[in-house]
Every structure is written in C-alpha cells, then in structure tokens.
Chains A and B, each alone.
Chain A
Amino acid sequence: MTRDVFLFLSAFLASAVEMVEALTIVLAVGVTRGWRSALTGAGAALLALAALVGLLGPSISRVPIDTLRVVVGALLLVFGLQWLRKAILRASGYKPLHDEDEAYAEEREKARGASRDVRAGVDWYSFTVTFKGVFLEGLEVAFIVITFGAARTHGVALAAAAAALALLVVVVAGVLVHAPLSRVPENALKFTVGLLLTTFGTFWAAEGAGASWPGDEAALPAILAFLGLASFGAVRALHDRRDALAGGRA
C-alpha cells in the first residue's frame, strides 16, 4: 500500500512537471503558427511515448526480480539524484530557476522567425518542435513508468494512470489559463520528485543487492524522511556558504 501511494505520487508529480514544460513549447508554437500542426506534433509524441511504455513495460518484467530491482533501483537513483541535485542547487541560489514565461517568450521568438515549410497540410516546423518538446520531456516520465512497473505487480498500469492523470490536469489547466503555467512551483515539485525517486531507488537497489530492510516497505517513509532532512540540510549549508561569500565580497 505504502509503495503504491509513493509510486502513484512519484509518477504523477514527475509527469506534471515535465508536461508543464512541454505545454509551454506547444502553447508558444500553437499561438504563433497555428494549432493544427502543433497539436499533431504533440499528439504524435504522446502516441510514441505510449507505444514505448506498451512495448518495453511487459517485456522488462520477464527479467529475474533481484536483477531487475538492482537495475531499476540504480536507474531510479541516477534519475532521482539528478533531479535532487539540480533542485538543491536551484533552491540554494547556485542555479537559476526555470522560468516558464521566459521559455515561452523564447519559443515564440524562434517560432516567429522560422520559415514556413508546409507539406501534406502540416507546418513541419510546428510539428517537429512540438513533437521533439513533448517526446523529450515525456521520455523520462516513460522510463519512470517502465521502471516502476518492472519492480511492482501492476506497477506499469498504476504509474501510467498517474502520468496520464497529470497530463490531463496540465492540459485542462493550460486550456483554461491559455498561458504558460508559470505560477506552478516547479522547483518545489522537482525537489519532491527527486526525493521520491531517490527513496524508491535506494530501497530497490539495496533490496536487489541482497539487503533486507527492517519493516520491509514500512522503511520507505523513513528513507524519505532521512533523504529529505539531508537535502534540506544541504540547501541550508549552500545558502550559508553563498551568504558568507557575498558578505566577504561586500
């Protein structure tokens, strides 16, 4: 039960964050050059991602469970630590925050300047940019869905449902707001996703390598709390260092 809640939450939040970024690209291209080709590109990318999950999801579960847990754990750890590392650096001021308004303006500028190449009724610039944007943002979500599914019975279905729900929420919000979702606290979400992926990765990698967790899956909240405290400690320490350096320069 604990695993399922964590799994659903991780896939939902990861998908939401990535889809907010993809929405910015689709909106910028759609508003500037027309919706038909932009939406065709985005739709084709979503179909490609669904096909990837549909093909890899069932086949990966044929690998022996301990090997699978090590591989899945290692992948989730590497992904999770990447998210967490960047979120910590952003939260402590060592890396700029991702600005959806700025990204939107930049994409619109590029879309305005690009030449129009229409074939079979499709504007290929719009199609390519939105396909690439949605596919690349969604690829990590697809991998998260596949890896979760590999290490858990019905995991693919649960994680895919969470990712699809997040996509729906972001699309509805995008249609209602008709602007980039710049007020979404992206770094806080990325911090949370990083913590959840790293928690799962730690749990599965250790289990797959032969360790036994005290209390089995009841250890998950404890790992999450430990990693959360350590991460907030890192943000605090980096903040202090930055303040000390700024004070030294003044």
Chain B
Amino acid sequence: MSRLSAFARFWYDFIVGDDWRVAAGVGVAIGLTAVLSSSGWSVWWLMPLAVVATLFRSVWRAARSAAPSSMSGRSDAT
C-alpha cells in the first residue's frame, strides 16, 4: 500500500506540481472554452487571459507565503 501511494504521489507531484490550483485553473479554462465555443461564441481570447490570471494568482500566493528562509539556500530542480 505504501508503495502504491508513493507511486501515486510521484505522478501527482510530476503532473500537478506544487500548486493544484494551477491544474484546476487550466481545467476550468478548457471547460469554459468548450462550452462557449459550442454555443457559437468566438472565444480564442479566453485561454490566454485565463492562463495569465491563473499564473498571477499562483505566483502571488507563493510570494505572500514565502518566509524569509525560503529565499535562500539550495533550490529544487526544474
């Protein structure tokens, strides 16, 4: 069980990463684009705006929660 959960954890970290809200934001943006475009709207502009909004929210949240100690020392990869 612990191996299975470690395996699942690895793939979660690999795909979703540090902030699950980014993946959720991407999902919402795709869903909204699909719904609106199937109703005949021209929504090419929606995805770039949603991506930037998701990115801004994520980096801002990370910056607000960054303690002074996290601004020094060795970084993880990627």
* Interface residue ranges, A against B (CB under 8 Å): 18, 21, 70, 73-75, 77-79, 81-86, 88-90, 92-99, 102-103, 106, 137, 139-140, 190, 198, 201-202, 205-206, 208-214, 219, 223, 226-227, 230-231, 234, 238, 241-242
Contacts and interface: CB of A to CB of B under 8 A. Distances in A.
Given A70-B30, A94-B63, A230 B52 contact: yes
A77 B26 contact: yes
Given A212-B44, A227-B52, A238-B59, A82 B78 contact: yes
Contacts of B18: 82, 85-86
Tell me what chain B mostly uses at the interface: helix, strand, loop, or mixed.
helix
Interface residues of B, number: 43
A24 to B, nearest CB: 10
B45 to A, nearest CB: 9
B2 interface: no
A81 B51 contact: yes
Contacts of B38: 210
B8 interface: no
Contact of A81 (B26, B48, B73): B26
Interface of B: 14-19, 22-23, 26-27, 29-31, 33-34, 37-38, 42-44, 46-48, 51-52, 54-56, 58-60, 62-63, 66, 70-78
Contacts of B74: 96, 98-99, 102-103, 106
A238 B42 contact: no
Contacts of B77: 21, 98, 137
Contacts of A74: 26-27, 30
A96 B63 contact: no
A242 B60 CA distance: 11
A188 B8 CA distance: 31
A117 B37 CA distance: 60
